[in-house]
Amino acid sequence: MTFDLANASDPFQRGFRALGSLNEVRLLPGTKFTLPCEGNQESVTYVREGSLVVRQRSHKGECLRPGTYQRAKSHRLMTARVTDDSPSQGAHLFVSSLTVHEEEGEPSSELRHYPFADRRGTLKLIASPDGYAASLRLLEDVRIYSSLLDPGHHVIHELRPGRGAWLHVVAGRVRLVDQSLEGGDGASLDEELAVSFTAEETSEILLFDLA
């Protein structure tokens, strides 16, 4: 858990801006689980390794494989089961939740596959409020980017006035200003002109550009 709702001393107890939660999940083959939800939210699930079947209420299950992102308008009753294609492989995924400031309607979902090759060396837009560049369409004014970086690759992402960003290191190590962030680490940037960081080794990151 990036943000710990049960820890009152956590300054990011309830998330950062519209980003309410960001959880890393590792599951064994055949595991079935329910994605948690607090309040009115939409989720973005990223499957990094393995595969799983996700079902929302009575909707037909969808299979998510490596490199697949799914946006769900509501995951209050969403369950997922890791497929058992390989007895030795489970699933490695990241589930983020965004606070929605409108009344919840019928559950809906959308998924897209973003090959690792398309995300290497560039900030690939995964989700946005207008569905720009074939990205997932979000309800909130949030943009989510994914990137795989070779050592020494430097990234600069400009932020519009009044916006903030959350940088999460999925794997590897990056340097943000004077801080070295390793896999599992995250950093917030508030009222900055840009997010600027460098991969210190082969790395993968998620970047949330937040209103």
Domain that holds residue 123: 116-210
One DSSP character per residue, the chain reads --S-TT-TT-TTTT-BTTEEEEEEEEE-TT-EEE----SSEEEEEEEEES-EEEEETTSPPEEE-TTEEEEES--TTEEEEE--SSTT--EEEEEEEEE--S---S--EEEEE--HHHHBTS-EEEEETT-GGGPEEPSSSEEEEEEEE-TT-EEEEE--TT-EEEEEEEESEEEETTEEEETT-EEEEES-SEEEEEESSSEEEEEEEE-
Locate 151 and state its tokens.
């050592």
- CATH number for position 58: 2.60.120.10
Q: Are strands 19-27 and 109-113 parallel, antiparallel or unpaired?
A: unpaired
Could you tell me if 93 and 126 lie in one domain?
A: no
Statement: residue 58 has pLDDT above 60: no
How many CA atoms lie less than 13 Å away from 127 in the CB half-sphere? 31
Q: Tell me the C-alpha distance between 195 and 175, whole Å.
A: 11
Q: Tell me the C-alpha distance between 195 and 191, whole Å.
A: 10
Q: How would residue 4 be classed by pLDDT, with cut points 50, 70 and 90?
A: confident
Query: Which pLDDT does position 177 carry in this prediction?
Result: 92
Statement: residue 21 has pLDDT above 50: yes
Q: What is the largest CA-CA distance in the chain?
A: 49
Query: Which pLDDT does position 77 carry in this prediction?
Result: 44
Instruction: Pick the most confident of 9-13, 82-86, 146-150.
Output: 146-150
Could you tell me if 128 and 102 lie in one domain?
A: no
Q: How would residue 29 be classed by pLDDT, with cut points 50, 70 and 90?
A: confident
Could you tell me if 146 and 164 lie in one domain?
A: yes
**To the nearest whole number, what is the mean pLDDT of the chain?**
88
In a domain, 50, yes or no: yes
Over the stretch 61-70, which tens digit does the pLDDT of each residue have? 788 899 999 9
In a domain, 61, yes or no: yes
Could you tell me if 100 and 154 lie in one domain?
A: no
Q: How many domains does the chain have?
A: 2
In a domain, 6, yes or no: no
Could you tell me if 134 and 109 lie in one domain?
A: no
Task: Please name which of 107, 48, 56, 111 lies closest in space to residue 80, comparing C-alpha atoms.
Answer: 56
- Of 62, 96, 113, the residue that ends a domain is 113
Query: Which pLDDT does position 141 carry in this prediction?
Result: 95
In a domain, 11, yes or no: no
- Of 83, 113, 143, the residue that ends a domain is 113
Statement: residue 85 has pLDDT above 70: no
The mean per-residue pLDDT over the stretch 7-11 comes to: 82
- Of 113, 139, 169, the residue that ends a domain is 113
In a domain, 10, yes or no: no
Could you tell me if 173 and 126 lie in one domain?
A: yes
The more confident residue out of 60 and 39 is 60
Instruction: State which amino acid sits at residue 6.
Output: A
Cβ(208)–Cβ(166) below 8 Å:
yes
